[in-house]
Amino acid sequence: MLKIGLTGGIGAGKTTVAKIFETLGILVYYADQEAKRLMETNAELIKTIKNQFGESTYADGKLNRKKLADIVFTDKEKLSLLNSLVHPFTIQDGLRWMSEQTGSYAIKEAALIFESSSSHEFDFIIGVSAPAALRFARTIERDQETSAHVTERMDNQMDETIKMNLCDAVIINDEEQLLIPQVIALHEKLLKMSVEGSTHG
């Protein structure tokens, strides 16, 4: 089974693209969603976050997301510290999930594949690319956030062109080129690759 990474900048449309793959019967691991679950359920991770960011980041056993976001989004170093604490858990959990899959290929959707040095986990990495102005507008609309906050989040990410150049294939989500045909073409390519891989051992 092929292990596929799906990545891109904030608001590029990773989740949108992943949902199209799901309609084709492909299973997807959503790293962001799973990281949130692990931050609520993994005792070791909870303890580490409390140690680094204070007991008040959890109240009644539940993560106080607003509190944590307020701490990390105004401080680059704290954001990278949080990422560095959560990543090993998400990476381990994603590897476990991948090893349990049995189809032709399975996808892990994650914003930080290259940044977390986990690109070696994958046989093939798909990038989702969209112009910065569109990513900015989509994120403001979806998250109901201020433009300063979204600019900050975008500035904290790896340069889009560099990231896309590292990918094996790029899906353009600029609202001009149709998404579904691009996903189907990649799906066919990946099915073919998976058959060839299993034939050649």
DSSP 114-139: TTTT-GGG-SEEEEEE--HHHHHHHH
Smallest distance, Å, CB 170 to ligand ATP? 13
Structure token pair of residue 134: 């569109």
Residue 11 binds to ligand ATP (criterion: CB under 6 A): yes
Residue 13 binds to ligand ATP (criterion: CB under 6 A): yes
DSSP-H helix ranges across the chain = 14-23, 31-41, 43-53, 65-72, 76-100, 132-143, 147-155, 160-166, 179-199
Beta carbon nearer to ligand ATP, 155 or 196? 155
Structure token pair of residue 116: 């977390």
Residue 12 binds to ligand ATP (criterion: CB under 6 A): yes
Interface with ligand ATP (CB under 6 A), residue from 179, 184, 191, 193: 179
Smallest distance, Å, CB 153 to ligand ATP? 8
Interface with ligand ATP (CB under 6 A), residue from 42, 139, 182, 194: 139
Instruction: Give CA–CA dist 124/111, Å, rounded.
Output: 15
Q: Which residues bind ligand ATP (CB under 6 A)?
A: 8, 10-16, 111, 138-139, 142, 173, 175, 179
